[in-house]
Amino acid sequence: MKEKVVLAYSGGLDTTAIIPWLKETFDYEVICCCIDCGQGSELDGLDERAKLSGASKLYIENIVDEFCEDYIMPCVKAGAVYEHKYLLGTSMARPAIAKKLVEIARKENAVAICHGATGKGNDQIRFELGIKALAPDIKVIAPWRMTDVWTMQSREDEIEYCKQHGIDLPFGTDSSYSRDRNLWHISHEGLELEEPENEPNYDHLLMLGVSPEKAPDQGEYVTMTFEKGIPTSINGVKMKVSDIIKKLNELGGKHGIGIVDIVENRVVGMKSRGVYETPGGTILMEAHQQLEELVLDRATMEVKKDMGNKLAQVVYEGKWFTPLREAIQAFVEVTQEYVTGEVKFKLYKGNIIKAGTTSPYSLYNESLASFTTGDLYDHHDASGFITLFGLPLKVRAMKLAEVEKNNNK
């Protein structure tokens, strides 16, 4: 009986060419596994394509709800954003995919897991750290790093290889953007984006919505509710998290929300330029933050900001299945106990404009915040506070003056 390998299968040219290559190079039985994180129509026709290419079996595993609840929401609650812009769409999905690949590998008694990530990108790290953490005994095969036996260097090479092995599929040689899509976002790399001095061709590039210039001239009000940091409804209609993100994607795309052009620092040491479309995610992150402004105290917000930045780095680097991620998430969960309330905002040409936020746990006190004197605040108390708060500055200034005086004698 042949040994089995589980291939992370997208249905694209790369992973299609990998199927006969695995059989020819290692004499494996190839089990394809496509993980559905909300790619939509990209999954159409995969079963036939995988079988035609020589796979003995194809799993299509829908993990959309798990992806939303167990991976996206912890990052939303934390406010995790990499390098101030990237909302971690690909980064969050990779550990979820790795976990499912390991489950299928265990079910099939496979000895190896294969992925089609390149040797220059972040995804190879994210997949392999996830597999190492969950199944250290399973071998990982990364064809693009095995240049002694993987000799294909272009789409033309792969198409020719497939044809030589009786696989004649409608793959073209035309260049296009390199994209990754799931429910949370779409990333775009390549073509004019390869040069940072080039403006993105948004008319050609965008898939989830329009640019702000082409958004409607009329703004649209949206109301969301949250319970303990989790979104529960849009405009009064209760929905599960995945449906909320779908609806926000629709609304955000319509109004040109969540388009980010970034030159980011990859884990492997190089900079890369890409455009991310995250319409629903951008709205959800902003709405959650607006509610937190009301209910979190200053000291907690300061530490939480640091924890959010740290979590973004941890997730970006593929270290999801680590004690550090668990510890950060545990801290964040405590901060979400009272993040409950309603957020209203207006979407208008790429902007999310506040229109009112309420919470039963709001720490905002009108008597304290107003310019008139309230019962809880005596203006005279500020004098003593400033004296003590500024004491280190005053002592330092006095000491410097004393030293200068002595030096001038």
Query: Hey, which residues are catalytic here?
Result: 14, 94, 123, 178
Q: Which residues contact 46 (CB under 8 A, 6 or more apart)?
A: 9, 11, 32, 34, 58, 60
CA distance 31 to 19: 9
CA distance 160 to 138: 31
DSSP assignment of 352-382 equals: EEEEEEE-TT----HHHHSSS--TT--TTHH
CA distance 52 to 60: 16
Side by side, which strands form the sheet with 186-189? 178-181, 186-189, 271-277, 259-265
Tokens 């812009």 belong to residue: 85
DSSP assignment of 221-244 equals: EEEEEEETTEEEEETTEE--HHHH
DSSP assignment of 316-352 equals: HTT--SSHHHHHHHHHHHHHTTT--EEEEEEEETTEE
Tallying the residues shown for the chain, one arrives at: 409
Q: Which residues contact 168 (CB under 8 A, 6 or more apart)?
A: 162
Do residues 119 and 142 touch, judged by C-beta distance below 8 A?
yes
